[in-house]
Amino acid sequence: MSKEGFETIKARVHTIFLEGRKLIRCRSYESRLIAGAALLHIIVTVGLFAVGRSQIAPSLVDRDGIMESLASDSYNYRREALGLPIVNENEPGAEPELTWNAHVKVLSLEFAILGRLFGYTILSAEPFNLLSYVSILILVMMLGREIGIRRIALIAVGIVAVWPSLLLHSTQFLKDPPFIALALALILIVTTWLTRTYTWRRVLISGVALSVVAGLLLLIRLKFAGFIVSIVFFGFSYLIIRQLLERRWLHRNFICPVLILVATVPAVFYLAGTSNQKFKRYPSDQSGADKLTVAVGQLHTVLYRERASLKTTSAPSTYVKLSGLTDQALRGIADARFDFNNS
């Protein structure tokens, strides 16, 4: 072997070594970031429970750690979970009921296992909530890797991990965190249609994963079949654009979007034709009439009951003027919501 050939091989080995070390270091950062975020989630959950039990802010957090103003639907899901046969002891006054909601079934399983230790509080729901929260972060990181920007992926995960609404919602009895995780998984699969050239093996893996994710999404929120179709349709459209730009036929990449569109479009038409719909109550399921039966004036009364105390006979200050503009804008939103619910 010539000296030039040896130096070339040496340079390549050195490059591979440096890239490997960078990859290991990046993976280490990612692991530590995910572990730190998981610890933060546990601390926030325990902190909310402690605040609730100590009754420091009873109007914000009840004794079970539920944030009444932020996650009032938690009461509905807990009541449904306690009504399932798997839970040994039902909440006082709760009647046994059946539900198709997969999230409620998981919650009832947690209550059956951990309810005797932690009660029917957010601590009992923490295992699944933590899993959903960590899954969201991992999927955000995988999306960043898929588009080839690891540093941006780390920044995105850091932002998502401490995003207040997501962090707090993921400690409650809500189905939003698992739904978000599954939606991100769906988007990740669709993204691979645009970033990779599929082999038959990858077609099989992607097809199975897509079917599982879509099925779980429909189990959590059946009415979101249109959401699945929309994401797949946009991915399908961008895949066509990719082929036009690259001037080559990616026939294996087309198999998954075509199959999922054929499978879900009939479901969307079926759901659109059904009238079986559960209407929420306003402002929550615990009080108030159905949203469809509440007049706009009543909506305003509820929305702006606290703001009425801000009115004053003196000259309006800047704060009062800004408050009036905010009220006017929110009244428009309330009217739009009423029209939407009424339709």
pLDDT at 46 (0 to 100): 93
Q: What mean pLDDT comes out for the span 35-51?
A: 92
Residues counted in the chain: 343
pLDDT at 44 (0 to 100): 94
pLDDT at 14 (0 to 100): 53
Contact 168, 67 (CB under 8 A): yes
The domains of the chain are located at 13-174, 192-276, 291-342
Q: What mean pLDDT comes out for the span 304-319?
A: 49
Is residue 207 scored above 60 in pLDDT? yes
Residue 86: band (very low, low, confident or very high) from pLDDT cuts 50, 70, 90: low
pTM: 0.70
At 109-136, the pLDDT tens digits run 998 888 888 889 999 999 999 999 999 9
Q: Is 30 helix (H, G, I), strand (E, B) or coil?
A: helix
Is residue 163 scored above 60 in pLDDT? yes
Residue 169: band (very low, low, confident or very high) from pLDDT cuts 50, 70, 90: very high
Long-range contacts of range 266-275, CB-CB < 8 Å, 24 or more positions apart? 267/218, 267/225, 268/225, 268/226, 268/229, 271/222, 271/223, 271/225, 271/226
pLDDT at 62 (0 to 100): 87
Distance (Å) of CA 36 to CA 41, 139, 145, 162:
9, 16, 20, 11
Highest mean pLDDT among 30-34, 258-262, 271-275: 30-34
Distance (Å) of CA 274 to CA 222, 226, 245:
12, 14, 42
